[in-house]
Amino acid sequence: MSNQSGKSAVFLEGSLMRHVTRMSLTTSIGLMAIFAVDFVDMAFIAMLGNDALAAAVGYAATVLFFTNSINVGLSIAAGSLVAREIGAGREGQARQYATSVATLGVLVGLLVPVLVLLNVEAILKSLGAQDEVLRLAVRYVWFILPTMWVMALAMAGMAVLRAFGDARRAMQATLYGGIVNAVLDPILIFGVGLGLDGAAIASVAARIAMMTFALLPAIRTYGGFARPSPAHVREDFHAVRAIAIPAVLTNVATPVGNAIIVREIAQFGTDAVAGMAVIGRLMPVAFSVIFALSGAIGPIIGQNFGAGKTNRVRGAYVAGLQFTAVYVLLMTAVLFVLRAPIADLFQAEGETRVLIYLFCGPLALASVFNGFIFVGNASFNNLGYPIYSTWVNWGRHTVGTLPFAILGAQVAGASGVLLGQAAGGMIFAAVSWIMVKRVFGKLPKPGDVDPHHPNLSGSIDGSFGSRVKNR
């Protein structure tokens, strides 16, 4: 391995817990910026005094979520493939993978918006949008969706930065995007008087800022991208597709589970729905660090897997679980102490207050199982088993949600729905742990693997046999 490679593969040495902590906390700051900007966005739109505007953004966000899931899947593929090649000392191949993913992201980001926009009105109608809300939602989507390719490059750039261990610059890209959005929102919405169009334009500008501040350091500091080549894209397509498609499917499972919970909660009235809405705002703020775990721990596992350091791969997984447990315990204690002020902040009474109190205690504590699933998914994605992430996430948000929510509703009303959801998460956290152990059992033993074997990180179909030295 070259000296430069050694400097790039920063996760091959040092404390795994320190790496996990630094990557998770840094990545979570970027996530918090996105959540905060979304919150401010909605607050500004609400100030316009037209409920149809907020509803339109809600419907448009559903469409944009599913299209953005494609970018998430591609960024996971970029991070996994690039980190493994860096760990193996093959930075040329790492650059090729990064470029192939970015190229595919641009192509998909140009094609998908065309297909969606040709049918956007029918899609939004199927979601329930009508009349003025439909018109506004269509207009909003038309502003933002054509920049899908911009977001693809932004996310690819951030994935490459994290693969090199530079979570700080990846975080800065999201922060700068958030700042651009937050500054432009009031100017364009109120100052210029563009209303909802202004919010859309601010979001587009934020995407461009994120792309700029992600790609520039990835290229200038790490040389993370090569010259695009159609031949290389064709060569790498199978490797990218094998990770990206399961990652996309994994990502879209979450709104399915959320829809099930909202439907079950709705039968208990508006107070229960309001309580669920408050929890939906609290959750990403309190546990953004846990949400960041999957993207944060992936490069650590990927680099060590690429280098053949399977003991450190196992150690990174354990460190991720330990970090999750400690963070959730501390955050649950904070929420429990602040449960009354939080409820008062939202002027919560009745069932709304009951659900907030439930979240600031048992439900918050149960978030540890979500964290375990995130760490497991990162392991699957970076060890060549991305389809396992898909199985776990879809299982967790279907059979791990619906029957438990229905049973919980019958036993304990609205609170029982959320407790049932938590119980399902506990079961699938155990399923994830068992499957991770199975994957670890197939890893070559230390000393039996050649880190420079071309198949060590090139094969992602779950076949590890070719990675063992012939003796």
Per cent of the chain over pLDDT 70 is: 91
- pLDDT at 161 (0 to 100): 93
9 — pLDDT class (breaks 50, 70, 90): confident
The reply to whether 449 falls in a domain is no
Segments forming the whole domain that contains residue 123: 3-442
Alpha-carbon distances, residue 258 vs 39, 263, 371 (angstroms):
19, 9, 17
175, 182 in Cβ contact below 8 A?
Answer: no
The reply to whether 327 falls in a domain is yes
The reply to whether 463 falls in a domain is no
| 170-185: pLDDT as tens digits | 989 988 998 898 899 8
- pLDDT at 23 (0 to 100): 86
The reply to whether 460 falls in a domain is no
The reply to whether 34 falls in a domain is yes
Q: Is the pLDDT of residue 409 over 80?
A: yes
398 — pLDDT class (breaks 50, 70, 90): very high
| 90-116: pLDDT as tens digits | 888 889 999 999 999 999 999 999 999
330-347: average pLDDT: 90
Secondary structure (H, E, C), the chain: CCHHHHHHCHHHCCCHHHHHHHHHHHHHHHHHHHHHHHHHHHHHHHCCCCHHHHHHHHHHHHHHHHHHHHHHHHHHHHHHHHHHHHHCCCHHHHHHHHHHHHHHHHHHHHHHHHHHHHCHHHHHHHHCCCHHHHHHHHHHHHHHHHHHHHHHHHHHHHHHHHHCCCHHHHHHHHHHHHHHHHHHHHHHHHHCCCCHHHHHHHHHHHHHHHHHHHHHHHHHCCCCCCCCCHHHHHHHHHHHHHHHHHHHHHHHHHHHHHHHHHHHHHCCCHHHHHHHHHHHHHHHHHCHHHHCHHHHHHHHHHHHHHCCCHHHHHHHHHHHHHHHHHHHHHHHHHHHHCHHHHHHHCCCCHHHHHHHHHHHHHHHHHHHHHHHHHHHHHHHHHHCCHHHHHHHHHHHHCCCCHHHHHHHHHHHHHHHHHHHHHHHHHHHHHHHHHHHHHHHHHCCCCCCECCCCCCCCCCCCCCCHHHECCC
Q: How many structural domains compose the chain?
A: 1
- pLDDT at 6 (0 to 100): 44
- Choose the most confident range, by mean pLDDT, from 36-45, 178-187, 323-332: 323-332
Nearest to 382 by CA among 448, 457, 325: 457
29-35: average pLDDT: 74
**Structure tokens of 276?**
């669920």
Range in 49-53, 279-283, 433-437 with the lowest mean pLDDT: 49-53
| 45-79: pLDDT as tens digits | 767 777 778 778 877 887 887 888 888 888 888 88
446-456: average pLDDT: 46
More confident residue, 29 or 141: 141
The reply to whether 204 falls in a domain is yes
134-146: average pLDDT: 91
The reply to whether 454 falls in a domain is no
Q: Please state, rounded to an integer, the average pLDDT across all residues of the chain.
A: 85
The reply to whether 462 falls in a domain is no
364-377: average pLDDT: 94
Q: State how far the Cα of 434 lies from the Cα of 384, in Å rounded to an integer.
A: 16
